Amino acid sequence: MNPVIRGLIIYLFLMLVFRLSGKRTLAQTTPFELVLLLIISEVTQQALVGEDYSITTSLILITTLIGVDLLVSVIKQRSRSFEQVTEGSPLVVVADGKLLQNRAVKSRVSEEDVLEAARNLHGLERLDQIKYAVLELDGTISIIPK
Amino acid sequence: MAGKNKSVERLQHDLQLEENLDQHKRGWVIQKVGWTILYLGLILAAIGVFGTGPLSYKTQVINGNSVEYERFMRYEGESEMTFHVKDVKDSIALEIPQQYLEYIDVLSITPLPDRNRTVDGVTTYYFPAGGAADIHCNLMAKKFGNISATIKVNATPFTIAHKIYP
């Protein structure tokens, strides 16, 4: 198969799968998730290259992936709705020291995740010391202390 | 209790961020549908709809001779096709149409054929044999799409059909 088509299919499939799996997936890379990422990259590499290890194929694939990514970023910049579809938007999960249960459950954020971020970022000890906790686009949790 | 009330909390906050809760709600629904499709795909893959599984393996028996092969193959993926031939007098003739060979590469045949020839778009492999014999063909798909061809073993015709995924 043409390497450009391969590159496009793999790019779009990875984008779709990671979007569907949610922000929290692979947001905090545990040792196991790091291994998982390495396996995914290895499998992707095999699907991209196949039996063709030529420099030409590599150059075509690199150009395809960078080109598509560039195009996607330009479309995101020009279309707010496209950006929201592909990346989503931030979500407040703690307000005035209280975990917003339904938001947290649906976005797979636990109280422990919020407390861990609060300890790491601001040295906070309890949930009631947090004014807001926001689940950001990249899956990390940012904390605004009271 | 949050467990009883499943509606997502509406919130007035003074943060400068565009939360778009309705889009989040749509996203969660789409995510659930996506996960369902993902797991459905996994189940289909496990049972062999994309090759190498119980649904993929097929056996045909005609006149006591039989062939085992995979209906679903993957581009550049290897697969095996085995012919079981009985009551062989002195040789087996395996006739494979060129049309089939355009899609499928025969990587190896065990046992090795004595000779082969191609006439009118059909490649015939000859094997010296007697009694009951098996011929194993190691195949690799070199094009994707659907291919159906009639392969003959000692004049017994088997219609072999493969769906080859990219």
Helix intervals (H) in chain A: 3-21, 31-49, 55-78, 80-87, 101-106, 111-122
pLDDT in tens, B65-111: 999 999 999 988 899 999 999 888 889 999 999 999 999 999 999 99
Residue of B105, B107, B119, B116 whose CA lies nearest to B147: B105
Query: How is chain B split into domains, by residue range?
Result: 20-49, 57-165
The pLDDT value recorded for residue B18 is 80
Beta strand B115-119 with B131-141 is unpaired
With an 8 Å Cβ cutoff, is A55 touching chain B?
no
Residue of B75, B127, B113, B17 whose CA lies nearest to A89: B17
The pLDDT value recorded for residue B125 is 93
The answer to whether residue B6 scores a pLDDT higher than 70 is: no
Chain B hits for A84, CB-CB cut-off 8 Å, are 20, 23
With vertex at residue A139, the alpha carbon angle to CA A138 and CA A141, rounded to the nearest 5 degrees, is 110
Q: Walk me through the domains of chain A, giving residue ranges and CATH numbers.
A: 3-87 (no CATH), 91-145 (3.30.240.20)
Asked if A75 contacts A86 with a C-beta cutoff of 8 angstroms, the reply is no
User: Mean pLDDT, to the nearest integer, of A25-36?
Assistant: 78
Nearest CA in chain B to A90: B19
Asked if B85 contacts B65 with a C-beta cutoff of 8 angstroms, the reply is yes
With an 8 Å Cβ cutoff, is A112 touching chain B?
no
Question: If you average pLDDT over every residue of chain B, what do you get?
Answer: 89
The pLDDT value recorded for residue B2 is 42
Label residues B116-134 b or e (16+ Cβ within 10 Å = b). eeeeeebbebebebeeebe
With an 8 Å Cβ cutoff, is A137 touching chain B?
no
With an 8 Å Cβ cutoff, is A90 touching chain B?
yes
Q: Which residues contact A138 (CB under 8 A, 6 or more apart)?
A: A23, A27
Q: What architecture is the B57-165 domain classified under in CATH? A: Sandwich (2.60)
